Amino acid sequence: MYFIANWKMFGGINSVNSLDKVIKFIKSFKKKKLAKIIYCPPHTLIDSMSKKLKNTNISVGSQNCHEHESYGPFTGSVNCKMLKNVGAKYVIIGHSEVRQSGESNKLINQKIQTAIKSGLKVIFCVGETIHQRKKKLTKKILSTQIKVGLNKIKNKKGIIVAYEPVWSIGTGIIPKPLDLLNTINFIKKRLKNNKILYGGSVNPKNINQLNSINNLDGYLIGGASQVSKKFIDIIKKTYN
């Protein structure tokens, strides 16, 4: 199971020390081989976090990347080469908070192609808005996001897909179990060889309910991942 921590735009240099608890926990955790943990902090912390997590089995990723492979005049942007240089192994692409600022499925596709070429593993986010859900467009939206986002990508196998309904992110609301089961199965039918995660308000209180949906390959966790105790609880409860 994957446990991917998305710290969003939170954290200063001292926040990296909060990982001490997680490192300690995972060292003595009997089922550590089953849990694949990836931290995606803001760009400013990738370097220090990579150093902190050296010699652990916890990896570091970025929350976004630029679509260009090489250096260039793109003020404020960071490319995959730069991310790898400071220790990132993964990159989240297509997060709804980035899509909201105008990132199209086509641009997401370019970013995914670049990330793969550069040797970063991709965490590809898909999900419908509440408006789209109310109009019963969920499957159509997901199909388009997957089709365009993964267009011309030959080796899709290593891509981790996170289904994150936009209405669930940061709201405390999670999908009804049967709805989530069906949506994950819908994605799995299209992407038979990929790991499919769920993301959106995952926390220690609802993790048991989510774990009862037994077709999930893990979680992308925002808010709760910023508190080590909550993050550890989510992992512990998953293997109880």
Q: Which listed range, 70-78, 106-114, 180-188, 215-223, lies at the site for ligand PEP (CB under 6 A)?
A: 215-223
Report the nearest approach of ligand PEP to the CB of residue 30 (Å).
26
Q: Which amino acid is at 77?
A: S
Question: 204 CB contacts (<8 Å, ≥6 apart)?
Answer: 224, 230, 233, 234, 237
d(CA 167, CA 189): 23
Question: Beta partners for 197?
Answer: 162
Q: Are the CB atoms for 128 and 183 separated by under 8 Å?
A: no
Q: Which listed range, 48-56, 108-116, 164-172, 188-196, lies at the site for ligand PEP (CB under 6 A)?
A: 164-172
Report the nearest approach of ligand PEP to the CB of residue 50 (Å).
21
Of these, 37, 120, 169, 180, which contacts ligand PEP (CB under 6 A)? 169
Is 68 one of the catalytic residues? no
Question: 150 CB contacts (<8 Å, ≥6 apart)?
Answer: 109, 112, 124, 156, 159, 191
122 binds ligand PEP (CB under 6 A): no
Q: Which amino acid is at 44?
A: T
238 binds ligand PEP (CB under 6 A): no
67 binds ligand PEP (CB under 6 A): no
164 binds ligand PEP (CB under 6 A): yes
User: Which of 97, 103, 128, 164 is an active site residue?
Assistant: 164
221 binds ligand PEP (CB under 6 A): yes
Is 131 one of the catalytic residues? no
Report the nearest approach of ligand PEP to the CB of residue 172 (Å).
8
Using left for φ > 0, alpha for ψ between -120 and 50, and beta otherwise, residue 127 falls in left
220 binds ligand PEP (CB under 6 A): yes
Q: Which listed range, 10-18, 131-139, 193-201, 228-236, lies at the site for ligand PEP (CB under 6 A)?
A: 193-201
Question: Beta partners for 4?
Answer: 38, 220
d(CA 19, CA 86): 18
Ranges of H-type helices in the chain: 19-28, 43-52, 80-85, 96-99, 105-118, 130-134, 138-149, 177-190, 207-211, 228-238
Q: Which listed range, 21-29, 70-78, 114-122, 195-203, lies at the site for ligand PEP (CB under 6 A)?
A: 195-203
- For the annotated catalytic residues, the residue numbers are 95, 164
Site residues, ligand PEP (CB under 6 A): 6, 8, 164, 169-170, 199-202, 220-224
